[in-house]
């Protein structure tokens, strides 16, 4: 979560005396997990990621096989 920052040039003289020659940055007062409530099943999520990765690997293998077959058929002509 990106929190606001006030550049030192926009600070009043009294605030610059307190914070020095720095920009003022805000700190989060809450845990981001308290704000964002996403209903997700971690097991299902990782199972889906694994399945997608396996499908990508299989499709890459098929593509490489098609390319090899295409190259060898061009050599025969």
Are residues 1 and 31 located together in one domain of the fold?
Answer: yes
Same-domain status, 59 and 44: yes
53 in the same domain as 70: yes
Same domain, 57 and 75: yes
Structural domain range at position 9: 1-38
27-58 pLDDT, tens digit per residue, is: 778 876 777 767 888 899 999 999 999 999 99
Q: Residues 21, 47: one domain?
A: no
Please, where are the H alpha helices in 1-77? 13-19, 32-35, 42-75
For residues 34 and 2, membership in a common domain is answered with: yes
Looking at per-residue pLDDT, the higher value among 65 and 29 belongs to: 65
Q: Residue for token digits 């293998």?
A: 61
Would you say the pTM of this structure is higher than 0.85? no
């Amino acid at each position: 979560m990106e929190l606001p920052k006030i550049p030192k040039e926009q600070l009043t003289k009294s605030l610059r005396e307190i914070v020095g020659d720095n920009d003022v940055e805000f700190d989060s007062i809450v845990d981001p997990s308290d704000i964002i409530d996403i209903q997700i099943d971690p097991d299902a999520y990782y199972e889906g990621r694994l399945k997608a990765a396996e499908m990508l690997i299989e499709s890459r293998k098929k593509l490489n096989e098609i390319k090899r077959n295409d190259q060898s058929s061009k050599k025969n002509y």
